[in-house]
Amino acid sequence: MTMQTPESQITPARSTRTDAPAASFVRVLTMLFLFCAAAVYEAVHLSSLSDTDVWWHLSTGLWILQNHGVPHSGISSQYSNLPWIASSWTYDLLLATAYKLLGLRAIPMTLMLFKVALAASAFLLARGRSRNFPLAVLLTVAAQCAIPLRPLPNLCSIVCFAVELALLFQSLRTGNVRILYWLPLLFVLWVNLHIQFVYGLIALALFLAATLAEDISRRSGSTWCDSQLPLLPLGAVAAVTVFSFVATLLSPYGYHIYEVVIRNATPVPYIADEHAMNFRQPQHYVLLLLAMSAFLALGRRRSRDPFKLALMIVASMVAFRIQGDAGFLAMASVAVIADAFFMGEIGAVPVSPERRVKWEMPATMVLLAVVFVAAACRIPSRQTLLNRIGESLPVRAADYIRENRLPNPLFNEYGWGGFLTFYLPNYPVVIDGRTDLYGDEIISRYFKVTRAEVPLNTEPAFAGAQTILLPANSAMAIGLAKFSDFKAVYSDNVATVLVRQN
């Protein structure tokens, strides 16, 4: 006798086979939008061209290409006698190489690549390929909103930090210490990309301390420090930490790179990115919500995990003290929240294996490459880009100075210094975004003079300046034009050029 299968039992199976391709198609489109939306936005709006620091990174990279070595003093500055370490020399070199190949298009394309890498690293850190796909999408969107997206090497640090967290969390979940053997190689790359590799070392030190604390707790039979996860070998974790620290010495500057770390430990009061968050921008509240959600996830855990708690505390102290470091707290929050859902401690619902298709990620990568190339081709020519740059930076004023060979030395606006090192290389700047070169004393003197807090002649850089380049509507430019010692020789809606009358 043949057994008849009830229709009610076969309907779900048909539904699963029918819905699986549709669900995969939706996920592919979602990931495509998630990864490339910010990059396409940059291709349209070209916000990277108005950035003030990308230009001195570019000029430094061009100097490295020309001189076949890294700088050790303040190149392109009137303080060329001061020692300086180009801590982001690899980033500068890559940017300059791209500029040689692509021209000014390299700048927005660099930021586009960073935005794709940032979205992809946040998505993978949120475990978008395992469970809770909607949660991973939500966390990735929140992370992108909370992180200031600038074409600076600190975005390299955020991506490297996400990779480090992915390795640490995967090692905790599986108890496989061999995953951590990739960390020294990561730090070799990281130390040559950006000075914020030190945050990665701090996270690794917290991981080692937590492993030690849990080892002591289990040996003593105490439950005050019990993550209910496989305990990693303490010796192996300590060895990875030591080798990672040694790896940070593998740069052209050796141990001197830590001198930059020490100099940058204190925020500069006049630099906006180094201020504490004022919660007047939407991304500040997004970051706060992410951090609160991560602490809530830790609070609802049935176990005690000292590493994740310490990571969130330290990341919060750093991010809310210096808003430019918000990316580290955002990535730490994403990792903690996603891990809590993956471990099933906040009611995660597993996705059935039938709904995960192997071709989803390859298809997403192919479509992403097509969209990226199409968006990059939309970026206009050099002259059009210069016109766009001239809307916020003194392109025409710099052309006037060059064509009329106005006398050196130059006194310039702080925010324009980086651009002038690239566009006006024969006129060393009095200041730019390299705060580790100038130090607190020089920066403070400059801003006190430009804000009329002290007499003009008390600043030697201004007292000896022959050409003055300032914003057209600035109080200093308007005031100097009224003095008989200065003559306004050029002005447009962006900049004013004044020459000292001898």
| Cβ-count burial 423-452 (b if 16+ within 10 Å, e if not) | bbeebbbbbbbbbbbbeeebbebbbebbee
Alpha-carbon separation of residue 117 from 163, 376, 499 (angstroms): 11, 16, 46
The length of the chain, given as a count of residues: 502
Each residue's pLDDT, cut to its tens digit, for the chain (502 residues) gives: 444 444 444 344 444 444 567 777 888 888 889 999 989 998 988 888 888 889 999 999 999 999 999 999 999 999 999 999 999 999 999 999 999 999 999 999 999 998 999 999 999 898 876 667 888 899 999 999 888 766 678 889 999 999 999 999 999 888 889 999 999 999 999 999 999 999 999 999 999 999 998 878 777 766 656 666 667 888 999 999 999 999 999 999 999 999 888 887 777 676 766 677 778 888 889 999 999 999 998 888 766 788 999 999 999 998 888 887 888 999 999 999 998 887 654 444 444 444 455 677 788 888 889 998 998 888 988 889 999 999 999 999 999 999 999 999 999 999 999 999 999 999 999 999 998 899 888 999 999 999 888 888 888 889 899 999 999 988 899 888 888 788 999 999 999 999 998 7
Helix (H) or strand (E) segment spanning residue 489: strand 486-491
Nearest to 184 by CA among 247, 90, 237, 257: 247
User: pTM for the full model?
Assistant: 0.88
Phi, psi of 396 (to 5 degrees): -70, -35
Helix segments in 221-348, DSSP class H: 234-247, 257-263, 282-299, 306-321, 326-342
Domain boundaries, the chain: 16-375, 393-500
Give the orientation angle of helix 7-45 with respect to helix 360-377, to 10 degrees: 20
> At 70, is the secondary structure helix, strand, or coil?
coil
What gap in Å lies between CA 123 and CA 100, rounded to an integer?
32
What gap in Å lies between CA 119 and CA 133, rounded to an integer?
14
The answer to whether residues 486 and 500 touch, using CB atoms and an 8 Å cutoff, is: yes
Residues in contact with 84: Cβ distance below 8 Å, sequence separation at least 6, in sequence order: 71, 72, 73, 74, 75, 434, 436, 437
The answer to whether residues 358 and 171 touch, using CB atoms and an 8 Å cutoff, is: no
Locate 2 and state its tokens: 């043949």
What pLDDT sits at residue 87? Answer: 92
